[in-house]
Amino acid sequence: MTDLTRRSFIKNVGFVGATTLFCGSLLGQNAFTNFSDLDKEEKNILSNFSKSNISNAFLLDQALFHCYTTAIVSWQKMGYQSSGNFCYSSDDNRLKMFPMHLHVDSAGKLDDVLLCFGKNDNGEWKSLKSLSGFDLEAITVAMEELQMHNSNVNLSHYLFPAAVTQVEPYGFMTQKGSVYLKTILSPENTAITIIIKEGTTVVYQKELISKHSLNVTSVLV
């Protein structure tokens, strides 16, 4: 019996270097709440993670620092920058997540991304997954709906990458199962599909139309 109640950018922005999206409007902001505003919310998708100073995290773990600085090079070349001097940590400190955003002077903030890193049993850090603004939007919707029937369940175990994980083409493994995420970008309606499994059992599935009001002028593959 499951713990939960049953019921390309082409793939997503998190696929670095594969695609570039140009947006021409201040309305191009994501429906996902700004990372800096999350502390003001009583319950949000990162509530089960601790928030800490990046500098302190790097001082305590040089291997994490090296992994992070290597991983962000591609993002910085695309114009992304850190969203602040903070990161999010799982309760066992084996999953670290760093927020970044893309800002263009003529258009404002266009995207948020959460870079996820996991520490294996040998103490090595690996880049696990980059969750785009579209991914975070779908995860936010899923968490809000799942919470209505599972208020005592730690949903982060179902919605975020496991520290040691096999990343799938359209998703990732979690502590409890897996998450499938796929975004199909369109100038009209951008569709996001999310499927959450506990083991092999589907506990949540939804296709939603993004509230990310992008003005897509060009997609380069």
User: What does the domain layout of the chain look like in residue ranges?
Assistant: 20-220
CA 44 to centroid of chain Cα atoms: 13
pLDDT above 80 for 107? no
The whole-number pLDDT of residue 40 equals: 56
Contact by Cβ (8 Å): 181, 170: yes
Q: Can you tell me the mean pLDDT for 118-124?
A: 91
| Sign of torsion over alpha carbons 95, 134, 16, 65 | negative
- Report which of residues 108 and 208 the model is more confident about: 208
Q: Among 31-35, 101-105, 210-214, which range has the highest average pLDDT?
A: 101-105
pLDDT above 60 for 22? no
Instruction: Assign 108 a pLDDT band (cuts: 50, 70, 90).
Output: low
Question: What residue type is assigned to position 215 of the chain?
Answer: N
pTM, to two decimals: 0.79
pLDDT above 70 for 37? no
97: three-class secondary structure by DSSP = strand
pLDDT above 70 for 41? no
211: three-class secondary structure by DSSP = coil
Nearest Cα neighbor of 189 from 166, 207, 169, 170 is 207
